[in-house]
Homo-oligomer: A and B are copies of this chain.
Amino acid sequence: MSTSSRFAVAVHVLTLMAWAEEEPLKSEQVAESVNTNAVVIRRMLCELAESNLVISQTGSMGGSKLARPPESITLQDIYQAVESRGVFSLHRHPPNPDCPVGVNIGAVLNDVLDEVDAAVQGVLANMTLRDVVSRLKPCMSTASGKRVSATNGKRKQVARVQSVSARN
């Protein structure tokens, strides 16, 4: 069904910023953590900025940080910012209008899909970025400090292990 990782990446990006608190992060730094290209991140940051979730600053010493405190940003906000279309799609081509089922099934399905989408958003509304950060913390060694990445130089990108991405 869903073939998009946009939501997962958006949560990841914003979590990094919640983690970094007020310090602006550069798209390169974020890209390194997400393991993708910096332009992909910048594109997403533009969308997140339009929804007033982040603020970016151009120029030297620029970067992006959260626009508001992490406890005020829910996963629903993020979902709405980056996943415009609902959970399912309807028919690619409209069904046959001469068939009594075909002509009406769209309306029925739309009702169902609206209900589903509302349920999804209901779940996502119950978790904030602050919660995500809290869930992250127990997993880590406390010694490793607060920086996003200890090595901030030109580290080689992590090898991409093909076809091992979690949900397949």
Q: Which residues of A contact B (CB under 8 A)?
A: 1-9, 11-12, 15-16, 19, 32-36, 75, 83, 85-113, 115-116, 119-120, 122-124, 127, 132, 135-136, 139-140, 144, 148-151, 155, 158, 160-161, 164-168
Q: Is there an interface contact between B140 and A87, defined as CB atoms closer than 8 Å?
A: no
Q: Is there an interface contact between B86 and A167, defined as CB atoms closer than 8 Å?
A: yes
Q: Is there an interface contact between A85 and B2, defined as CB atoms closer than 8 Å?
A: yes
Copies in the complex: 2
Q: Is there an interface contact between A91 and B9, defined as CB atoms closer than 8 Å?
A: yes
Q: Contacts of A102 on B, CB cut-off 8 Å? A: 12, 33-35
- A19, B108: Cα distance in complex, Å: 15
A8-B89, A101-B148, A165-B89 given; A35·B95 CB < 8 A: yes
Q: Is there an interface contact between A88 and B35, defined as CB atoms closer than 8 Å?
A: no
- A48, B82: Cα distance in complex, Å: 33
Q: Is there an interface contact between A136 and B104, defined as CB atoms closer than 8 Å?
A: yes
Q: Contacts of A98 on B, CB cut-off 8 Å? A: 149-151, 155, 158
